[in-house]
């Protein structure tokens, strides 16, 4: 858990927010001294131990004004004067520490089944890594630079761009790609809980993610059927049906087909920037101009990929539970088709 949390922790690299949170996880239930779970729910606490008055007072001083791109206005409409105003509460990226800790538990289970989930950055502010980064390349170059981009040359350009943007007090977005390898065919439900629907739910629930694609995604709109279809073949080596291409991104009919699950998510620029912007004072209904000078990241991308890994692991483990449970009670399925 701590290893996973350390990937997301702020203040790790010069590109991150200057906040230095330790993100130390304390386990208070469900695990014995020998690191074995007891079956009781695993209870965790991750204290927010960098809470200086200066930081809180700065947030308080902005409490009446809408921070453009932030959740302040919509939280105000929903919770009124009770909305958290000393760091944005549940709209803060801080909330994602709990997701990463939970994802580490899912990882421990998935590891035993040979299912590996890896996320990495392929684009920052329009600077793109090479096309079709393979699982092997992503694995070999995992976290070799501060932004976890497996294209090591392009990563240098991306880092330079982030440094430039940081100096301007501005921020940029980018693309995170996720590959899940070793997922057996047969995960996912056929109608409402299609695997792409539950994965999208998991990923789109992370703040700042504004788009998602599976496989060729929006690229399918430019292809003919003959170009979009992945051609199946029988693979002697693995003894299973495989596909010559993977434009489906590993899911057909809402159910995994045994190929890599490939997902791309769009991450918007960090909303809080140190540049004056027009806004509204919600209490006085005045149009005002404010510079929100708090601590923030020039891009969320370098800190969001571990959160993406965690959410995909959690969604896949949920799908595995359902699929295994279904198989356990459908004993009349011919075992030859049973790939789980």
Contact residues: ligand FMN, CB under 6 A: 17, 70-71, 91-93, 96, 206-208, 268, 270-272, 296-297, 300, 303-304, 307
Q: Shortest gap between Cβ of 106 and ligand FMN (angstroms)?
A: 18
Q: Which is nearer to ligand FMN, 91 or 105 (CB)?
A: 91
Q: Which is nearer to ligand FMN, 257 or 270 (CB)?
A: 270
Q: Shortest gap between Cβ of 70 and ligand FMN (angstroms)?
A: 5
Distance, in Å, from the CA atom of 171 to the CA atom of 125, rounded to the nearest integer, reads: 9
Residue appearing with tokens 């793109």: 128
Whether the CA torsion 68, 156, 12, 209 is positive or negative: it is positive
Q: Shortest gap between Cβ of 303 and ligand FMN (angstroms)?
A: 4
* Number of Cα atoms under 13 Å in the Cβ half of residue 243: 20
Q: Shortest gap between Cβ of 94 and ligand FMN (angstroms)?
A: 8
Which residue's beta carbon is nearest to the bound ligand FMN? 93
Q: Shortest gap between Cβ of 205 and ligand FMN (angstroms)?
A: 9
Whether the CA torsion 126, 131, 132, 133 is positive or negative: it is negative
Contact 319, 200 (CB under 8 A): no
Q: Which is nearer to ligand FMN, 209 or 252 (CB)?
A: 209
Whether the CA torsion 249, 253, 258, 261 is positive or negative: it is positive
Question: Of 143, 158, 207, nearest to 6 (Cα)?
Answer: 143
Q: Which is nearer to ligand FMN, 119 or 319 (CB)?
A: 119
Q: Which is nearer to ligand FMN, 92 or 277 (CB)?
A: 92
Give the end-to-end CA distance of the chain in Å, rounded to a whole number: 27
Q: Shortest gap between Cβ of 310 and ligand FMN (angstroms)?
A: 11
Question: Of 226, 225, 244, nearest to 234 (Cα)?
Answer: 244
Q: Which is nearer to ligand FMN, 37 or 74 (CB)?
A: 74
Q: Which is nearer to ligand FMN, 17 or 196 (CB)?
A: 17
Residue appearing with tokens 């010069």: 14
Q: Shortest gap between Cβ of 210 and ligand FMN (angstroms)?
A: 7
Contact 256, 188 (CB under 8 A): yes
Q: How far is CA 297 from CA 27, 37, 134, 301, in A?
A: 29, 36, 28, 9
């Amino acid at each position: 858990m701590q290893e996973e949390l350390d990937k997301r922790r702020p203040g790790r690299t010069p590109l991150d927010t200057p906040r230095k949170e330790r993100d130390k996880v304390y386990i208070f239930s469900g695990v014995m001294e020998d690191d074995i779970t007891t079956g009781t729910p695993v209870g965790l606490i991750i204290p927010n131990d960098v809470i200086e008055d200066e930081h809180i007072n700065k947030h308080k001083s902005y409490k009446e004004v809408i921070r453009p791109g932030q959740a302040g206005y919509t939280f105000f409409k929903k919770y009124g004067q009770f909305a958290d105003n000393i760091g944005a509460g549940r709209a803060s990226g801080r909330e994602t520490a709990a997701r990463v800790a939970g994802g580490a538990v899912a990882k421990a289970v998935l590891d035993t089944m040979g299912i590996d989930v890896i996320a990495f950055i392929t684009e920052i502010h329009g600077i793109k890594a090479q096309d079709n980064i393979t699982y092997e390349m992503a694995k070999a170059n995992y976290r070799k630079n501060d932004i976890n981009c497996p294209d090591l040359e392009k990563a240098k350009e991306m880092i330079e761009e982030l440094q430039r943007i940081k100096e301007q007090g501005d921020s940029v977005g980018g693309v995170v790609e996720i590959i899940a390898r070793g997922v057996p065919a047969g995960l996912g439900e056929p109608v409402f809980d299609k695997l792409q629907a539950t994965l999208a739910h998991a990923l789109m629930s992370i703040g700042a993610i504004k788009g998602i694609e599976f496989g060729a995604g929006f690229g399918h709109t430019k292809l003919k059927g003959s170009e979009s279809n992945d051609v199946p073949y029988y693979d002697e080596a693995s003894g299973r049906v495989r596909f010559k291409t993977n434009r489906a991104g590993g899911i057909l009919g809402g159910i995994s087909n045994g190929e890599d699950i490939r997902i791309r998510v769009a991450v918007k620029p960090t909303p809080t920037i140190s540049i004056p912007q027009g806004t509204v004072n919600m209490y006085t209904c005045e149009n005002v101009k404010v510079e929100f000078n708090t601590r923030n990241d020039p891009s969320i991308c370098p800190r969001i990929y571990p959160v993406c890994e965690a959410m995909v692991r959690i969604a896949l483990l949920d799908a595995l539970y359902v699929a295994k449970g279904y198989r356990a009670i459908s004993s009349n399925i011919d075992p030859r088709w049973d790939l789980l």
